[in-house]
Amino acid sequence: MISTVTTKGQVTIPKRIRDILGINPHDKVDFIQEGKKIVLVPVRTLLDMRGAVPVKPGGDFAKERKAAKQMVAERIVDEMT
């Protein structure tokens, strides 16, 4: 597929490619150089994962978050020692 570069250096990603990669308006993409090729890769963030894990009934988000932060802190301390 061919796309034209505008005077501002912009290109339109063809719809077929956007559909294949799951790229939507306002998504971020990364350009990775592989030799003489440039690869377009969608950037996924934690917000994209929102809702991927079911919430346990009666779960306490604040408590779970605090426990996760504690585990990360302990891992960092272990790596430093």
Residue 44 in domain: no
Residue 61 in domain: yes
Encoding tokens for residue 59? 């779960």
Residue 56 in domain: yes
Q: Look up the domain containing 65 and give its range.
A: 51-80
Q: How many domains does the chain have?
A: 1
Residue 30 in domain: no
Residue 58 in domain: yes
pLDDT digits (tens, 9 = 90+) for 34-49: 999 999 999 987 777 7
Q: How confident is the model at residue 62 (pLDDT cuts 50, 70, 90)?
A: confident
Q: Give the whole-number percent of the chain exceeding pLDDT 70.
A: 98
d(CA 58, CA 78): 32
- Burial class of residue 11 in the structure, from the number of CB atoms within 10 Å of its CB (0-12 exposed, 13-18 middle, 19+ buried): exposed
pLDDT at 79: 86
Residue 42 in domain: no
CB 20 within 8 A of CB 12: no
Residue 2 in domain: no
